[in-house]
Amino acid sequence: MKIIFNPFRFIQRLRHSGGFGVHSHFAFNLILNTIHTPHSYYIYNENKRKIDKARLQKEANLNYAELLFRLMNRFNAKDILEIGSELGINTLYIVAHSKQTSVICVEQNEEKTETAQSLLANKLENIIFTKALPTSENSFDAIVWNLDGYPLNKEIALQTLETIVNTIKTEGFIVLNHINKSNQNKEMWQMIRQKETATMSFDLGSVGLVFFKPSLPKLNYDLYFKS
């Protein structure tokens, strides 16, 4: 897929990443204190040691995983759905902010699930592994969707999109990874932003973040984020 460089959008991403031109108080604080932050957390080193011990260093995107931790911690997400959880590396960070966190991990590959169960051995009481998407009877504070790992075709992608919209809580948010990796991923990203209940969104390049808080305006911010 050919990528066309847009210098104006790149400059806009850099400006927004520093808080310039961001007039929403919510967005300004989120960008400077959560998405981009000078602070570190002890859990970073602890989780990295677990990943190294499991010899999964090459599979880990620590910048993205640490972003997930900060988001879950910032909004105190307790009920979480992770779609395309793969080896459990991101799950390790998703559950790290609270012992009361409950995560449903949807993963089709059994070998990857076994690896995840080993990596998350001391967290299993908080995690449910399944191959099937939850029903609309469930509701979640946060949903993390790995577009590169699930689903396998557009029909399932559209079903997944509807499940997400029907199960996210009113004050919840969704994180999508690999939003620009393929035309289908781009389409899913645009469709979820255009949903009636979706409000503020953040395009981080390869990562997308959508909020469903009714108090927020329907705005999108393009940011630079190294993932």
Q: Check residue 134 and report its DSSP letter.
A: P
| Neighbour order of strands in the sheet with 220-222 | 127-130, 102-106, 79-83, 140-146, 168-177, 207-211, 201-203, 220-222
What value does the mean pLDDT of the chain take? Answer: 90
Residues with Cβ within 8 Å of 49's Cβ and at least 6 positions away in sequence, in order, are none
**pLDDT of 15 strictly over 70:** no
- Tokens (6 digits) for 37: 């932050």
Determine the average pLDDT of the residues in 116-142. 93
Share of the chain above pLDDT 90, in %: 76
Does pLDDT of 117 surpass 80?
yes
Q: What amino acid is encoded at 11 in this protein?
A: I
- The pTM score is 0.90
Q: What is the pLDDT of residue 135?
A: 83
Q: Can you tell me the distance from the alpha carbon of 185 to that of 114, in angstroms, rounded to the nearest whole number?
A: 27
For 147-182, the pLDDT digits (tens) are 988 777 888 889 999 999 999 999 999 999 999 999
What the chain holds in terms of domains, given with CATH numbers, is 7-17+24-222 (3.40.50.150)
Q: Is the pLDDT of residue 114 over 80?
A: yes
Query: pLDDT (tens digit, 9 = 90+) per residue, 20-48?
Result: 456 688 999 999 899 998 888 999 999 99
Angle at which helices 154-167 and 183-193 cross, to 10°: 20
Q: Reply yes or no on whether the pLDDT at 9 is more than 80.
A: no
Between CA 94 and CA 107 the distance in angstroms is: 16
- pLDDT, tens digit, for every residue of 75-85? 999 999 999 99
